[in-house]
Structure 1
Amino acid sequence: MSTSAHPPATPVTVTEQEAKKVAFAAFVGTALEWYDYFLYGTAAALVFNRLFFVTDDVVVSTAAAFASFAVGFVARPVGAIIFGHLGDRIGRRKTLLITVTMIGIATGVIGLLPSFMAIGIAAPVLLTLLRILQGVAVGGEWGGAVTLAVEHAPLERRGRYAAMPQIGSPVGTLLSSGAILAVSLLPQESFDAWGWRIPFLLAFPLLYVAVYLRRRVEESPLFEQMLEEDELSSSPVKDVIKGAFPQLLVGAGSTFLGVGGFYLVTTFVISYGTGTLGMDNSVLLTATLVAAAVEILVLIAGGRLAERFGAGVVTVVGGILSMLVAFPVFWLIDTTDTFLVIFAVTLGIACLSIPYAVSGVLLTNLFPASLRYSGVALSANFAGVVSGFVPLAATAALAGSGEQSWAPALMLVGIALVTTVSGWIAPRISLGHDEVMTR
């Protein structure tokens, strides 16, 4: 089968209404995915270290909880391989219905798990297994959602449509942090006994909404035309690794800041603020909520800027800004002043969200349509593997520096540098050249 970078012979035509419907369905699905995924990260910092990974040492318990958080990222490339292959072989839409169902069920079941005190070592084992299922599902979700949205979009408007699944990230953060913040207002005994479970159980009704919307969208017109013209790759994952490996590495580097940097400024900072600085949970959760709200605006603007200046340029600018603010962000957090902490987290998230806003269009441009689902999924999840260990690495770096914040700040600079360089290279090695016409 062909793996050519060239498009199908005839440009594909879709309606503007259909393009908008697909982008919205992609947004809702990714919002659910990230709600589920981010919820685990927040709970790992506040709940799982006490109720599931029980030890006499607080640092060890927190590290164990973050390790289970990281395991989900290790599982993501497995999902990228499985669902990337399916997405490029049986279709984007069918594959996305599978991924969203998997993560919704896995997250809801976490809310039903007994704690360590009830069933002993089986509790953290089952929790970790469910986290692995989350990781496998997410590994195939984002790449497919972006691919489906882009392949329904007109070429000159891909920036804004590719940004729609990205907006699912801050919305997922708002929902997950808001849910945890709401139940954290309960008395500690009630929160530990049943309150923390409510946000996880909400995954079930949210799953129903996501599946309903995704069942109503059409398959990618480019995929259907490639299927009709016998242009599909028989081994898309293999073909990506053999024929587009530089694009794979650059794609991973370009997404590193938006994922790894995000977990550094949210998941790690929550643990750092409560454990090291002695701050109240509500302050840091509020900071995350405010930052997520601002991130939505940044993502919308970033999508438009990509259409005007190119995704590579926007990525470079966002990476440089993130390097410049890295140390000031942690200096402000160290003051423990409520307003300054909220401002610092918001500033950090806003800057690293600039390259994240254009990750969808940048990655889909790197790969031809016949390999796109696999290429985008593998790129994003290679970065995700490393990103999952960022909170754990930052915790170790903090301990090694005598609990000085310059260590995690320096990590943020390094992550941003990788994305900046990748953003500069990406437009120069792009393989994707298909087009969608609207009527």
Structure 2
Amino acid sequence: MSQQHSGLEPHGGTASAADTATARRASIAAFVGTAMEWYDFFLFTTAAALVFNVEFFTNENAFVAAMASFATLAVGFVARPIGGLLFGALGDRIGRRRVLLITVIGIGVVTALIGALPTYGQIGVLAPTLLVILRFAQGLAVGGEWSGAVTFSIEHAPEGQRARYAAIPQLGSPIGTILSSGGFFLVSALSSEQFFMDWGWRIPFLFAIPLLIVSVIIREHMEESPEFTRLEEAQELSEQPIREVFRTSWRQILIGAMVAFTGVGGFYVVTTFIVSYGKTTLGLNANLLLFAAMVAAVCEFVVLWIGGRIGMRVGAVRVAIVGSVLSLALAFPVFLLVTTRQPALVVLGMVIGVVAVSIPYAAQGAIMADLFPARLRLSGVSISMNIASLISGFLPMIATALVAGQGGAWWPVAVLLVVVAGLTLVGSMLAPRRSAVLEPAA
């Protein structure tokens, strides 16, 4: 893969202190917004497993209610590719900074509205209808957030540190998990079950308002990506980035989607599905499952931080390959541990699962950004990521159906995780070898 096609042009020499400071501010802005994104999105996934199936979908059959709740979860993933197309094209046309402001505002406002939404018992069928509409709107905004944050961070990164900076927005995922799971855990632990189901679950959603204010303040002071500024000054921006990226880079889009599949889909299998399965099928306490999710998120943060640094040394592709192999090999042990119903082993199982799928997640931003030229990068990364997200959004629902079809047996879900990890392994091996090392090791 030529450097011209990759669009990852060298900055020319060692980064100055000013360049490094600017890169750090950009990465913090990307990280804060991404943490906000995943906080809001994980709130919905947790609520889908614990609350929405009861408060918004009334059915005596627990399986049908769970399927309806997860279907609402999937709606957001259906919206993500549309948001990816919209905001990817806007980012390649009007700039990364403007898009990142729009997406974070959209995410925060919608999440707060979900927290204020009346239930089925209060307004009937209008409640799930409004929930689906808000979920779709949330998915649109999320569709442009991650790809914009990763692109923005990479394009500000000093020479020799792009793989490291590509992993920084990924840190928003565990922070979002800790905040969302922690919020639900505290509300659930400090209140009665009735209060939690009636009002308590709303508190973490409404907490999105102060988080939104902080995110907007930080992002308002961002400087535009230097690579976008260069393209704009040289009048080299694409007039139709979506059409052009599909015409010239469709293979890279498929490879990027495969690379992202484990970090997104695998994560939802070992978190959202396990929370639902643990509560409804195994009869585990919700607080135990939320605690396990928080511990796993702390471990994920460490893995992502280390993975970005290792990617600088040995290459992002190698990191993704190792993570895919581990995810594949550990799929069955993870569920064996969870199904013991022993609290310590349940926590260990979720930690192992999250750590495994987080390794390729640490590397995917660097790999995906290197697949596309700068003038098409945000569009290409957005489309790739959201293809993976669209499929991933249906995985908890598919896993629930597989378990029900096998009388509550867990092994079909382990097989599903093996397939997901296998696709990422193939995609990582197909990624151009130049993207194996975005820059020479220091």
With the length of structure 2 as denominator, give the TM-score of the two structures.
Answer: 0.95
Shift of 1:428: 4.0
1:302 lines up with 2:307 in the alignment: yes
Match of 1:358, SS state, is helix
Q: CA RMSD in A?
A: 1.7
Shift of 1:426: 0.9
Separation in structure 1 between the aligned mates of residue 26 and residue 332 of structure 2, nearest angstrom: 40
1:224 pairs, out of 210, 219, 229, with 229
Amino acid at match of 1:232: L
Maintained 8 Å contact 1:260/1:388: yes
Separation in structure 2 between the aligned mates of residue 325 and residue 161 of structure 1, nearest angstrom: 28
Separation in structure 2 between the aligned mates of residue 115 and residue 271 of structure 1, nearest angstrom: 20
1:72 counterpart residue number: 76
1:148 counterpart residue number: 152
Maintained 8 Å contact 2:36/2:172: yes
Separation in structure 1 between the aligned mates of residue 9 and residue 369 of structure 2, nearest angstrom: 19
Q: Which runs of 5+ in 1 are unaligned?
A: none
1:63 counterpart residue number: 67
1:422 pairs, out of 419, 427, 438, with 427
1:352 lines up with 2:357 in the alignment: yes
1:318 lines up with 2:318 in the alignment: no
Maintained 8 Å contact 2:278/2:284: yes
1:16 counterpart residue number: 20
Deviation digits for residues 190-214 of structure 1 (CA, Å, limit 9, x no counterpart): 1122111100000111000001111
2:204 pairs, out of 159, 176, 199, with 199
1:160 pairs, out of 161, 164, 173, with 164
Maintained 8 Å contact 2:111/2:206: yes
Amino acid at match of 1:388: G
With the length of structure 1 as denominator, give the TM-score of the two structures.
Answer: 0.96
Maintained 8 Å contact 1:183/1:196: yes
Deviation digits for residues 268-304 of structure 1 (CA, Å, limit 9, x no counterpart): 0001101000110011111100000000000011001
Structure-to-structure mapping, 1:394-405, within 5 angstroms: 394-405=399-410
1:390 counterpart residue number: 395
Maintained 8 Å contact 1:367/1:432: no
Match of 1:278, SS state, is coil
2:179 counterpart residue number: 175
Maintained 8 Å contact 1:364/1:432: no
Deviation digits for residues 385-429 of structure 1 (CA, Å, limit 9, x no counterpart): 000000000001111122111110111111000001111111248
The 1:8/1:111 distance shift into structure 2, 3 A limit, reads: closer
1:364 lines up with 2:369 in the alignment: yes
Shift of 1:11: 4.2
Separation in structure 2 between the aligned mates of residue 289 and residue 356 of structure 1, nearest angstrom: 18
Separation in structure 2 between the aligned mates of residue 290 and residue 181 of structure 1, nearest angstrom: 12
1:123 counterpart residue number: 127
The size of the alignment, in residue pairs, is 431
Of 203-212 and 189-198, the range deviating more from structure 2: 189-198
Match of 2:160, SS state, is helix
2:41 counterpart residue number: 37
1:90 lines up with 2:94 in the alignment: yes
Amino acid at match of 1:199: P
Maintained 8 Å contact 2:10/2:159: no
1:381 pairs, out of 382, 386, 397, with 386
Shift of 1:155: 3.0
Maintained 8 Å contact 1:247/1:429: no
Shift of 1:10: 8.9
1:104 lines up with 2:108 in the alignment: yes
Identity of aligned residues (%): 51
Shift of 1:5: 2.5
1:241 lines up with 2:224 in the alignment: no
Separation in structure 1 between the aligned mates of residue 403 and residue 346 of structure 2, nearest angstrom: 18
Deviation digits for residues 299-341 of structure 1 (CA, Å, limit 9, x no counterpart): 0110011111111111010000111110011011110000001
1:256 counterpart residue number: 261
Separation in structure 2 between the aligned mates of residue 7 and residue 342 of structure 1, nearest angstrom: 42
2:345 counterpart residue number: 340
Separation in structure 1 between the aligned mates of residue 312 and residue 276 of structure 2, nearest angstrom: 38
Maintained 8 Å contact 1:49/1:62: yes
The 1:40/1:340 distance shift into structure 2, 3 A limit, reads: same
